[in-house]
């Protein structure tokens, strides 16, 4: 049997894709949730719920009315993947829930200490990955932008 990979929830995947879209394509201007959903192929109602969590965590800000939408609430260098995951799922240790609780009160024989350590190590790696770093990597990998740079005209 092949080992299974650790997987992020669909909510976390959508949150990362949505906030990445703001950082990579937003240029500081509000982007409508509908536009993000189309580019990222995410159901609008689902992403709206996720963005409400990101807004409560002060990672994104919303603007109503004409020209409204979402923007990053902080500079991309200050928002980490851990911030995004914890805004959607709660504290990392709880979100991972790597092991079921011991049964029959016989927990003395299991390495339950390991799950907290794994969460701490994963948290450190996620803390080192900011949206700014993610955008730089996307540019290096030639990820398409919504607004390609305008042509330069020299006279």
Where residue 38 sits, what CATH number does that domain have?
Answer: 1.10.10.10
Does residue 146 form part of some domain? no
Does residue 151 form part of some domain? no
Cα gap 1→5, rounded to integer Å: 12
Confidence of residue 65 (pLDDT cuts 50, 70, 90): confident
Predicted local confidence at residue 152, as pLDDT: 44
Does residue 3 form part of some domain? no
Q: How far is CA 51 from CA 55, 87, 100, 131, 143, in A?
A: 6, 10, 30, 16, 23
Does residue 40 form part of some domain? yes
- When divided into structural domains, the chain yields a total of 1
Range from 36-45, 47-56, 63-72, 103-112 carrying the lowest mean pLDDT: 103-112
Does residue 154 form part of some domain? no
Does residue 145 form part of some domain? no
Predicted local confidence at residue 150, as pLDDT: 46
Which residue segment(s) compose the domain that 71 sits in?
10-98+108-140
Does residue 153 form part of some domain? no
Does residue 75 form part of some domain? yes
């Amino acid at each position: 049997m092949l080992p299974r990979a650790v997987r992020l929830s669909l909510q976390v995947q959508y949150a990362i894709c949505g906030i990445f879209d703001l950082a990579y394509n937003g240029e500081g201007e509000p982007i409508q949730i509908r536009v993000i959903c189309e580019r990222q192929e995410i159901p609008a109602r689902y992403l709206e719920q996720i963005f409400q969590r990101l807004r409560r965590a002060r990672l994104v800000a919303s603007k109503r009315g004409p020209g409204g939408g979402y923007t990053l609430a902080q500079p991309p260098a200050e928002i980490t993947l851990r911030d995004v995951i914890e805004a959607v799922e709660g504290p990392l240790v709880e979100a991972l829930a790597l092991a079921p609780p011991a049964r029959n009160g016989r927990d003395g024989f299991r390495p339950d200490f390991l799950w907290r350590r794994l969460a701490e190590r994963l948290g450190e790696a996620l803390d080192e990955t900011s949206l700014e770093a993610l955008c730089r990597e996307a540019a290096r990998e030639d990820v398409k932008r919504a607004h390609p740079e305008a042509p330069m005209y020299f006279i």
